[in-house]
Structure 1
Amino acid sequence: MPKEDKPHVALLASPGLGHLIPIMELGKRMVTHHDFHVTVFFIASDQASTTSLLKSPKLENLDIVALPPVNISGLIDPNAQLVEKLLVIMRESLPSLRSSISSMKFRPSALIVDLFGADAFEIAEEFGMLRYVFNTTNAYCLAVIFHLSGIDDKFISEHHVKGQEPLEIPGCKSLSFRDTLDSLRDIDCIDRPKFNGNKMTNSHGILINTWEDLESSTIEALRDNNYLGTLLNVPIYPIGPLVRQDGNQVLDKQVKLWLDDQPIESVIYVSFGSGGTLSAKQLTELAWGLEQSQQRFIWVVRSPSNNALGTYFTIGENDGDGTPDYLPQGFFTRTKDIGLVIPMWAPQAQILSHPSVGGFFSHCGWNSTLESIMNGVPMIAWPLYAEQKMNAAMLTEDLEIAVRSEVSSTDEVVGRAEIEKMVRTIMVDKEGEAMKIRVKELKNSAEKALNKGGSSFNSLSQVAKDCMHHLLA
């Protein structure tokens, strides 16, 4: 079918690999499985990891457009929360987006944005486009956001923020203060999630990077008018799990040779996502814990920082060459036979898919969580920011495919003994064996959802049909 006859959809990604990766995967799936023409818009960045992602082999009918970088230094407090920064960046990018869409020969019939891009709906309305939100995290996070939009700020402040009481979510499990969103720990920022929720109701539907069997009760609560359905008042489409397919990327020769030499499921992969960092003291304890566990490991390590998302906007930039000097003296000598340390960044999807990897020490970003499930790998949950604490609770309490520290990994230093215990639980103990069985069952469930006729395939097919009908109307 000629490009001009295909339904054309525009996707808008906010900054950060955690947002760009699922947007890209959604675009690829719409092209390859539903015969769409897709244009992906993203905010230009010099980050090496973003550049690497966008260098992947080009698909016919998948166009990638970089919007000019945005300087927000004079528009927002430099110490503002990440959510606030992302909202401002996306707002300031609207003129460039409008200009780009206006100049297209074949304009899109629909615009799909992530959670931070709903301001762009004004542009979609100008050009008569359908409007969709792609929630790149899970259904439970969406349920929390919409529940907040129906609650008075004073109630949230008094009971959840100050009183640290659980937040009761209709039809879903309650949200403990320990696992709450970062913005709900700050009284001055509790309106941010509510703002997003209110914006999302001005859409034709919400796509979610999850699948029916993984979060059946939460998805039902989002649809049921007796629970959260009246707050949403728009259709929801679980279309996941959409994870990065790295078949085009080649593992570094040293990394591949090292992994090839290890026994099956004997290595724990340690990485805290595209932006996560640890303090110097915590890095030291983690190093000792890995060493004392006597388990094989591959560790993506970054310079210490007291800001948990210290490299969110700089991931992939040079962190120096050679051996990191901030790890314990003699660490590399003592662990040379069982460990491999990689500075800054590694091709995570390929490492997790290697047969020698049997555990994932993770920050619990939703992309990483889905990649771990899709490779049948149990986890050590080490949440750092955003909704990651909620993800950690789901992994440990609901899905039972992860272990987690008794103390908060963001508020306190987790000691080497506890780290050693968690590693051995995943890699050696019977509890870890049971988790491996459960996560492989989830992998099978996910693959079934994505296959033709599966729940996620059918959900995205419905969105595709709606876009086609709008094009022909």
Structure 2
Amino acid sequence: MPKNDKPHAALLASPGMGHLIPIVELGKRMAAHHDFHVTIFFVASDHGSTTLLLKSPTLENLDIVPLPLVDISGLVDPNTQLVEKLIVMMRESLPSLRSLIAAMMYRPSALIVDLFGADAFEIAEEFKMFKYVFNTANAWCLAVIFQSSRLDNKFILEHHVNGQKPLEIPGCKSLSSEDIPESLRNIDCNDQPEFHGTKMTNSHGILINTWEDLESSTIEALRDNNYLGGLVKVPIYPIGPLVRQDGNQALDKQVKQWLDKQPIESVIYVSFGSGGTLSAKQMTELAWGLEQSQQKFIWVVRPPSNNAVGTYFTIGIDDVDGTPDYLPQGFFTRTKETGLVIPMWAPQAQILSHPSVGGFLSHCGWNSTLESIMNGVPMIAWPLYAEQKMNAAMLIEDFEIAVRPKVSTTEDIVGREEIENMVRTIMADKEGQAMRDRVMELKNSAEKALCKGGSSFNSLSQIAKDCMHHLLP
């Protein structure tokens, strides 16, 4: 096999935008700033990820390769949790990944997988590659994963969920019972490898989509050789924030023209991620709350669903002004001067970077959280699933750049008056301006971490050096 004169890394991403986006951005950064040749493998799904990734702007030394779609219908039940489905899907994709790597002219010196891809380490070992895990969430989430791997889910359910006792995380702040992710509330989740630290620690290092100054105490705890009895015995590499860049994707002409007409920092952007949805009753309350706030807004609207992850169905339309039947009648007419409704999807990174945007009502996915920080935009935290409640707690308690409803956004209905008050707090009150000042400080800190000589730049540089040394005879 011919020798390569630069380190070649293979990245493996599981389905889901929360993993795909940071994996792609990691690949771009490795190729553009650290002299890697990068091949990104991703498991194709039926959620549009294939189209999105293959259209993603690429660099000369970056390739994006889809793995064939796998049929797991005979391996899991229809009611199986999404996390377990992803793990099975990744496992069934390993033969295709092995064949593609075996056929490569230049064998990668490193394999970097996300939390669902640790089973691919057997391929890395076979081909004598360095093996890394990329935790696309934050350091606190990683610490929770390690701590929970030492406890069984029955214990967590009885003592912390039902018993309402905070889950203590050594070296970090504790996790309130209300914010424990759904996966840890399920007794049947004990065999899911992403909640077992042993899989991740069977690597040459763990990359995290955060930076030193943002979570310094948590990162320091994870690096302690005695942490959790020596469980975390591999290097920790904070390499973030890795977020979508504007690229060549332009804003829709109507959206851009509307934003260009608005005063600076006068618009709140409302979106619940690539698939998050609300119930019909909650949609109504949100619509009234936005309208009553009298603040400018852009709202990415999807049909309601009782499943927060989202399902879509045929809708009716108000004959008077085109308002969908799941929004208050006449909503479009009454808000035509103050609001803009975008159906289904919007280019979030471009909208958040527009000078007119001054607030973000978000589901608190970590990608969205980082995009908000990187654009200096404070938030209304409205978590729906996964680790989003944890992220919301960080935004409010640690960073003080967000507000949150007083009731649970997954178990109760947030009323229109509270929504109105939260929007006004972020967009019109002194408290919102103070949050805006603090988030700008975090933005500056993040930019320093990514610059040459910054902490995140240096972390990736160290990985590049290790991989380059691996190439030497």
Deviation at 1:17, TM superposition (A): 1.1
Deviation at 1:159, TM superposition (A): 1.0
SS in 2 for 1:232: coil
Instruction: Give the distance between the partners of 2:315 and 2:32, measured in 1 at CA.
Output: 37
Instruction: Give the distance between the partners of 1:3 and 1:33, measured in 2 at CA.
Output: 22
Deviation at 1:229, TM superposition (A): 7.2
* Structure 1, 152-161 or 352-361: larger mean CA deviation: 152-161
Deviations 1:361-383 (Å, cap 9, x if unpaired)?
00000000000000000000000
TM-score (norm: length of structure 2): 0.95
Contact 2:15 2:49 in 1 (8 A): no
Sequence identity percentage: 82
- Residues 456 and 389 from structure 1, CA distance in 2 versus in 1: closer, same or farther, beyond 3 angstroms? same
Deviations 1:16-56 (Å, cap 9, x if unpaired)?
11111100000000001011100000112344465234313
Instruction: Give the distance between the partners of 1:177 and 1:330, measured in 2 at CA.
Output: 41
Instruction: Give the distance between the partners of 2:49 and 2:123, measured in 1 at CA.
Output: 29
1:373 match = 373
Instruction: Give the distance between the partners of 1:319 and 1:449, measured in 2 at CA.
Output: 46
* Structure 1, 414-423 or 160-169: larger mean CA deviation: 160-169
Deviation at 1:153, TM superposition (A): 4.7
Deviation at 1:58, TM superposition (A): 2.4
SS in 1 for 2:30: helix
2:268 match = 268
1:246 match = 246
Contact 1:28 1:62 in 2 (8 A): yes
2:19 match = 19
- Residues 152 and 342 from structure 1, CA distance in 2 versus in 1: closer, same or farther, beyond 3 angstroms? closer
Contact 2:153 2:189 in 1 (8 A): no
Deviations 1:275-317 (Å, cap 9, x if unpaired)?
2111111111110110010000000010111111125xx9xx9
Contact 2:10 2:108 in 1 (8 A): yes
TM-score (norm: length of structure 1): 0.95
SS in 2 for 1:231: coil
Deviation at 1:423, TM superposition (A): 0.5
2:178 match = 178
1:188 match = 188
Deviation at 1:6, TM superposition (A): 1.7
Corresponding pairs, count: 468
Could you tell me which amino acid in structure 2 is paired with residue 87 of structure 1? I
Instruction: Give the distance between the partners of 1:342 and 1:320, measured in 2 at CA.
Output: 16
State how 1:96-107 maps to structure 2 within 5 Å: 96-107=96-107
Contact 1:268 1:361 in 2 (8 A): yes
2:204 match = 204
Contact 1:183 1:193 in 2 (8 A): no
Deviation at 1:324, TM superposition (A): 2.8
Instruction: Give the distance between the partners of 1:415 and 1:3, measured in 2 at CA.
Output: 63
Deviations 1:39-86 (Å, cap 9, x if unpaired)?
000112344465234313321010110001122222112222221111
Unaligned runs of 5+ in 1: none
1:416 match = 416
Deviations 1:406-453 (Å, cap 9, x if unpaired)?
111011111111111110110011110100000000000000000000
Contact 1:22 1:367 in 2 (8 A): yes
Deviation at 1:318, TM superposition (A): 10
Deviation at 1:195, TM superposition (A): 4.3
Instruction: Give the distance between the partners of 1:191 and 1:225, measured in 2 at CA.
Output: 26
